Amino acid sequence: MCPNMSVVGMQWGDEGKGKIIDLCTEEFDVIVRYQGGSNAGHTVVVGEKKFVLHLVPSGILHERKLCVVGNGVAFDPPLFIEEMEGLRREGVEIKDNLKVSDRAHVVFPYHKVLDQLGDGRGGDPKIGTTGRGIGPCYTDKMARCGFRVAELLDGEHFREKLKWVLEAKNLEIRTRYEQDPLSYDEIADTFSGYAETIRPFVADTVTLLDQEMKRGARILFEGAQGSLLDVDFGTYPFISSSNASACGVSVGAGVPPRAVGKVLGIMKAYTTRVGEGPFPTELTGDHGEELRQKGGEFGATTGRPRRCGWLDAVAVRHAATINGAANVALTKLDVLSGQKNVNICTAYRCNGETLTHFPANTAVLDHVEPVYETFSGWDEDICGARKFSDLPSEAGAYVRAIEDAVELDVEIISVGSERDEIIRV
């Protein structure tokens, strides 16, 4: 049996993966990020300290764990350097326990500029991106005009290639968006400097992970964003531009498909999403605001308020199917304390029909009406619960109803942000 595990978000991101990954890390030797980039924000609370990690795998907060930024990550050198320095200031040791794939693609300033200028302009739908250059970086990767980290480290080649790439980008910036072009010298010089800072961390992570597996190391693959933001299976085009589901592990980490291991899905006890796009169970008005405040639902990367709503089991079932999730960790159950009733959307109604599967045409979701099952709420503060039997009976019944609705067993319940606020079911 493969000893590895992949931890993925089952909704639109922000499911609380950081905490669960942190909790599971002890049992693994290597922690690998396989997709996304600085658009992600994994929050981990350790004692008095709160860490928000964007690029560095959260395993870095544990001693003697090898952390790898895989080839599938959109790698932002200045942000990576800043994040490393911030961690070191907090006393986190970073030496040869952190490696960056030489095949990861580099995010450049023109990616950020084009991301920010392009979102919702000229007839394109507004996605509400994080503005971190993620979409344009992956676009260039596929269009064969991106830079692998290995190319950035090859000074002469980098400077030469940057000339024609930047010329094309500046043409777009000037003509399509009527903005000032970016300076070649500035990018060439600053990124040559970053190259030297990151050089000691860059490795052939394909060989490294292969060697680790051969020596019997256990690998934890850390997903960012969520399955409904997956470029192939999410609410296209309102997605992030990577394969955030477990399907992305093999290609994004550079390991064979058989190495993906058990898939643990992370889902929130309700639903949130940031940015634009359909959200059938969204609660607008005071009710949505109440959940947002209670759950602290503000983006870890951009600070934007997250849209909040009831649990959408149709969407989670879709995610479960794609991921082949074995079990789920249910997070933020405590946030629902105080609700008179709690709802689970088990199907959609659309033009007189009942839909139980997630549609490929996202536009359909704009017109569906959620079919809810309603359960009694509970008033008790459940942060102190450590066993399933400590939960009020209504909260327990809600968890069991979720298991039925998403057709998966709940393995872990998180009832607060601290490391120990957890129930193992």
Contacts with ligand IMP, residue ranges (CB under 6 A): 12-14, 39-41, 127-130, 132, 134-135, 224-225, 229, 240-241, 274-275
DSSP state at residue 126 = P
d(CA 57, CA 197): 19
Round to the nearest angstrom and report the end-to-end CA distance of the chain. 23
Q: Detail the DSSP E strand segments found in 274-419.
A: 307-309, 311-312, 327-331, 341-350, 353-355, 369-376, 409-414
Shortest Cβ 374–ligand IMP spacing (Å): 28
CB of 94 to ligand IMP, least distance (A): 22
- The three-point CA angle 217-223-224 to 5° equals 145
Residue nearest to ligand IMP (CB): 275
Q: Cβ(22)–Cβ(30) under 8 Å? A: no
State in angstroms the smallest separation of the CB of 226 from ligand IMP.
7
Task: Return the number of the residue (277 or 416) whose C-beta is nearest ligand IMP.
Answer: 277
Strand duo 307-309 + 271-273: pairing: antiparallel
Which residue among the candidates 14, 29, 115, 312 is catalytic per the annotation? 14
Question: Angle of helix 109-118 relative to helix 155-175, nearest 10 degrees?
Answer: 20
Report helix, strand and coil shares of the chain as percent, to nearest 5.
40, 20, 40
Residue closer to ligand IMP by CB (options 40, 73) is: 40
**Shortest Cβ 352–ligand IMP spacing (Å):** 31
- Measured from the CB of residue 170, what is the shortest distance to ligand IMP in angstroms? 22
How far apart are CB 16 and ligand IMP at their closest, in Å? 11
10 Å Cβ neighbour count for 143?
10
Q: Which is nearer to ligand IMP, 298 or 372 (CB)?
A: 298
Active-site residue, 42 included: yes
Query: DSSP string covering 161-215, please?
Result: HHHHHHHHHHHHHHHTT--PPPPHHHHHHHHHHHHHHHGGGEE-HHHHHHHHHHT
Min CB(6)–ligand IMP separation in Å:
17
In which order are the strands placed within the sheet that holds 66-69? 202-203, 98-101, 66-69, 30-33, 219-222, 5-9, 262-268, 327-331, 409-414, 422-424
In whole angstroms, the minimum distance from the beta carbon of 38 to ligand IMP comes to 9
Residue 282's φ and ψ, nearest 5 degrees, are -60, 140
Is 134 or 336 the residue whose CB approaches ligand IMP more closely? 134
- Give the separation between CA 18 and CA 220, rounded to whole angstroms: 12
**Cβ distance to ligand IMP smaller for residue 10 or 127:** 127
Report d(CA 41, CA 218) in Å as an integer: 24
Q: Is the bond into 57 cis (omega within 30 degrees of 0)?
A: no
- From 22, 29, 42, 318, active-site residue: 42
Q: What are phi and psi of 151, to 5 degrees?
A: -75, -35
Nearer to ligand IMP, 202 or 329 (CB): 329
Q: Which of 107, 148, 149 is nearest to 131 (CA)?
A: 107
Closer residue to ligand IMP (CB): 128 or 396: 128
CB 102 within 8 A of CB 205: yes
* Neighbour tally for 92: CB within 10 Å: 19
Closest to ligand IMP by CB, 55 vs 345, is 55
> Which positions are annotated as active-site residues?
14, 42
